[in-house]
Amino acid sequence: MRVVFVHGACVTDGAWWWHRSAELLARRGVASVAPALPSCGETGAAPAAEGPGLAADVAAVRAALRAGDEPTVVVAHSYGGIVTAEAAAGVDSVRHLLFVSSYLPEVGQSLASFGSKEPAPFLEVDAEKGRFTVRGDALAETFLQDCDRRLQQEALDKTAWQSLAVLAQPVRAAAWQHLPSTYLVCAADRGTPAQRQREFARRAGSVVEIDAGHHPFISRPDFVGDLVMEL
Please tell me the number of Cα atoms within 13 Å of 186 on its side-chain side. 30
- Give the residues across from 186 on adjacent strands: 210
Q: How far apart are alpha carbons 105 and 58 in whole angstroms?
A: 14
**pLDDT tens by residue, 154-185:** 999 999 999 999 999 999 999 999 999 999 99
**pLDDT tens by residue, 25-70:** 999 999 999 999 999 999 999 999 999 999 999 999 999 999 989 9
HEC string of the chain? CEEEEECCCCECCHHHHHHHHHHHHHHCCCEEECCCCHHHCCCCCCCECCECCHHHHHHHHHHHHCCCCCCEEEEEECCHHHHHHHHCCCCCCEEEEEEECCCCCCCCCCHHHHCCCCCCCCEEEECCCCEEEECHHHHHHHHCCCCCHHHHHHHHCCECCEECHHHHCCCCCCHHHCCCEEEEEECCCCCCCHHHHHHHHCCCCEEEEECCCCCHHHHCHHHHHHHHHHC
**pLDDT tens by residue, 73-100:** 999 999 999 999 999 999 999 999 999 9
Q: How far apart are alpha carbons 52 and 60 in whole angstroms?
A: 11
Q: Return phi, psi of residue 67, to 5°.
A: -75, -15
Band of pLDDT at residue 116, cut at 50, 70 and 90: confident
- Which CATH entry fits the domain spanning 2-230: 2.40.37.10, 3.40.50.1820, 3.40.640.10, 1.10.1740.10? 3.40.50.1820
Indicate the pTM of the whole model: 0.96
Band of pLDDT at residue 141, cut at 50, 70 and 90: very high
